[in-house]
């Protein structure tokens, strides 16, 4: 039917533009569902989201659209890099969804929506049994989804990992996490045995919600978040969502007895938001603005959260504002004491509030549990016991209830395979941080509050081609080196050996 790439591109653009209208509405409704939607309306709203998603899905299942996409893929060498990335993405998606009917797609969507609603209820009640049937359904449809793929990998879980990080396999993760355990577990013991005493008594002093909200806005302004193109509010589980070219929204969560959690949530989600805001505008014109992998995205969020916001230069920068907003919390607390407290290594139960050092173990635990779930090596009803045991094995602590244990994360409501991207993100940003510091004085820029300089470097080097490359090609292009966890592990050893005087 199609005889030249221009004709095919025009048709693909027309259909994707229509599909993105549904997509935009879905993002708005999802944002509402996770922020202010009344509890009893959530399931009904999810059904609307599922219906809109299916309308979009039907557009891309149309025979003429598929033919146009496959024509572009066959002639991809004749396209520029933006349209070539689009053609390759369309082909991958075609193979993934070729055998999934609109009816089956709608069924999957309803399962995920039900899982989110029951997870919220289960977390509030601290009762995993409320969520267990929905989790069983999620595992079932994950398996069914992979079974319907045209070119599925032999191992089920490898396919799910690849949905978030193209080409990633368990073999890669087993090797990477093996190196982490080999180097970090002995260092954790040395830290535990250190005689260095870090002051933390002020960390649980109460902080009201309003000054926390003011501090969140201050941090976003400092990071040069564009409030003409973005907004923030609160949610049970913080997140960032790019609703459109000029609409990026993030959320945080205020804890009265843990004021600093808001700071690291905002800098984390603010990093995600900057990635969306500062990507090339051409990405939207060519419909590839969502092709960046999750490990790329997590590398950026955790770059701003950890490499920047946990640095002493950043603490020195924001300390006066924190003293102004939280005078009783920081009464007789120095900037250096605050820096050390923000970098205390304390095995804890909640991943999103974990210190930078032990965070990797939270991801390893979830990765090992996901493998067991997908392989059928553990019954769903036995997952809380497995979770609790792994926390004791790795971190020497045990959850008192399901809310602070297996129900703390939202991710399993929409499937398996996401969690490893957090750890990979730390490793990617360690590599490009080392490249960045050869070209600019990062600490000096942070102390001066010059985030424009940092953001410009990130935009040119990290954001520019992310949607057009797989992660390993992307990091090689930034650093000139192949991916490895060593930069990250070296960083942790150096930083925490200094803090704990090892």
Q: Are 256 and 359 in contact (CB under 8 A)?
A: no
For 246, which DSSP code? T
CB-facing half-sphere around the CA of 303: CA atoms within 13 A: 31
**What would you measure as the largest C-alpha separation in the chain, in angstroms?**
75
Nearest one of 6, 166, 3, 4 to 88, comparing CA atoms: 166
Q: For the whole prediction, is pTM greater than 0.85?
A: yes
Q: Are 472 and 483 in contact (CB under 8 A)?
A: yes
CA angle 156, 370, 23 (to 5 degrees): 75
Q: Could you give the angle at which helices 359-375 and 383-395 cross, rounded to 10 degrees? A: 150
φ, ψ dihedrals at 247, nearest 5°: -150, 95
Q: How many residues does the chain have?
A: 502
Measured between alpha carbons, how far is 403 from 61 in angstroms, rounded to an integer? 40
Measured between alpha carbons, how far is 54 from 211 in angstroms, rounded to an integer? 42
Measured between alpha carbons, how far is 281 from 467 in angstroms, rounded to an integer? 12
Q: To which residue do tokens 């993100």 refer?
A: 425
Cα separation values, 253 from 40, 177, 257, 313, Å: 22, 30, 12, 25
According to DSSP, the β-strands at 240-244 and 230-234 are unpaired
According to DSSP, the β-strands at 247-252 and 240-244 are antiparallel
Q: Are 241 and 269 in contact (CB under 8 A)?
A: no
pLDDT tens, the chain, 502 aa long: 889 999 999 999 999 999 999 999 999 999 999 999 999 999 999 999 999 999 999 999 999 999 999 999 999 999 999 999 999 999 999 999 999 999 999 999 999 999 999 999 999 999 999 999 999 999 999 999 999 999 999 999 999 999 999 999 999 999 999 999 999 999 999 999 999 999 999 999 999 999 999 999 999 999 999 999 999 999 988 999 999 999 999 999 999 999 999 999 999 999 999 999 999 999 999 999 999 999 999 999 999 999 999 999 999 999 999 999 999 999 999 999 999 999 999 999 999 889 999 999 999 999 999 999 999 999 999 999 999 999 999 999 999 999 999 999 999 999 999 999 999 999 999 999 999 999 999 999 999 999 999 999 999 999 999 999 999 999 999 999 999 999 999 999 999 999 999 9
Q: Are 169 and 478 in contact (CB under 8 A)?
A: no
Characterise 126 by phi-psi region: left (phi > 0), alpha (psi -120 to 50), beta (else): left
Domains of the chain: 5-152 (no CATH), 170-499 (1.10.1370.30)
Nearest one of 340, 358, 486, 371 to 422, comparing CA atoms: 358
Q: Are 272 and 250 in contact (CB under 8 A)?
A: yes
Measured between alpha carbons, how far is 319 from 441 in angstroms, rounded to an integer? 21
Measured between alpha carbons, how far is 491 from 173 in angstroms, rounded to an integer? 20
3-state SS assignment for residue 287: coil
Nearest one of 477, 450, 451 to 463, comparing CA atoms: 477
Which pLDDT belongs to residue 197?
Answer: 93
Give the distance, in angstroms, between the CA of residue 154 and the centroid of all CA atoms in the same chain: 26
Q: Are 238 and 269 in contact (CB under 8 A)?
A: yes
Which secondary-structure segment (H or E) carries 345?
A: none
Q: Which residue in the list 269, 276, 305, 356 is annotated as catalytic?
A: 269
Measured between alpha carbons, how far is 133 from 122 in angstroms, rounded to an integer? 11
Q: Is 269 a catalytic residue?
A: yes
Measured between alpha carbons, how far is 243 from 255 in angstroms, rounded to an integer? 27
Q: What residues are paired with 233 via a beta bridge?
A: 251
């Amino acid at each position: 039917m199609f005889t030249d790439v221009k004709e095919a591109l025009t048709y693909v653009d027309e259909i994707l533009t229509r599909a993105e209208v549904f997509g935009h509405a879905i993002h708005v409704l999802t944002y509402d569902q996770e922020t202010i939607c009344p509890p009893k309306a959530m399931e009904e709203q999810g059904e609307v989201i599922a219906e809109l998603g299916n309308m979009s899905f039907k557009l891309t299942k149309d025979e003429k659209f598929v033919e146009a996409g496959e024509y572009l893929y066959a002639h991809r060498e004749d396209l520029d890099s933006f349209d070539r990335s689009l053609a390759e993405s369309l082909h991958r998606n075609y193979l993934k969804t070729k055998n999934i009917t609109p009816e089956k797609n709608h069924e999957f969507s309803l399962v995920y929506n039900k899982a989110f609603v029951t997870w919220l209820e289960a977390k509030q009640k601290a009762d995993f049994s409320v969520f267990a049937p929905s989790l069983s359904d999620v595992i079932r449809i994950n398996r069914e989804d992979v079974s319907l793929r045209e070119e599925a990998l032999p191992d089920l879980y490898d396919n799910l990992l690849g949905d978030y990080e193209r080409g990633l396999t368990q073999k890669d993760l087993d090797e990477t996490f093996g190196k982490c355990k080999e180097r970090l577990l002995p260092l954790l013991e040395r830290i535990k045995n250190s005689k260095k005493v870090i002051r933390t008594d002020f960390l649980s002093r109460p902080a009201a919600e309003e000054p926390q909200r003011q501090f969140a806005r201050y941090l976003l302004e400092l990071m040069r978040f564009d409030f003409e193109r973005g907004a923030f509010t609160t949610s049970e589980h913080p997140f960032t969502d790019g609703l459109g070219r000029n609409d990026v929204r993030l959320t945080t969560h205020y804890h009265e007895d843990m004021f600093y959690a808001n700071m690291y949530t905002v800098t984390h989600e603010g990093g995600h938001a900057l990635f969306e805001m500062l990507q090339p505008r051409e990405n939207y014109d060519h419909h590839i603005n969502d092709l960046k992998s999750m490990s790329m995205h997590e590398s950026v969020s955790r770059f701003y959260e950890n490499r920047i916001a946990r640095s002493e230069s950043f603490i020195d920068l924001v300390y006066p504002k924190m003293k102004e907003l939280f005078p009783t919390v920081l009464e007789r607390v120095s900037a250096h004491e605050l820096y050390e407290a923000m970098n205390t290594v304390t095995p804890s139960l909640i991943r999103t509030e974990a210190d930078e050092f032990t965070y990797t173990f939270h991801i390893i635990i979830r990765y090992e549990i996901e493998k067991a779930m997908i392989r059928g090596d553990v019954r769903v009803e036995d997952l809380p016991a497995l979770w609790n045991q792994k926390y004791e094995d790795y971190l020497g602590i045990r959850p008192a209830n399901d809310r602070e244990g297996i129900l703390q994360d939202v991710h399993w409501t929409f499937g398996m395979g996401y969690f490893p991207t957090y750890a990979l993100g730390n490793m990617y940003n360690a590599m490009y941080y080392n490249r960045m510091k050869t070209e600019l004085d990062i600490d000096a820029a942070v102390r001066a509050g010059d985030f424009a300089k940092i953001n410009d470097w990130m935009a040119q080097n990290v954001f520019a081609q992310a949607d057009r490359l797989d992660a390993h090609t992307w990091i090689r292009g930034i650093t000139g080196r192949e991916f490895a966890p060593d930069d990250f592990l070296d960083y942790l050893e150096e930083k925490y050996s200094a803090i704990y005087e090892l």
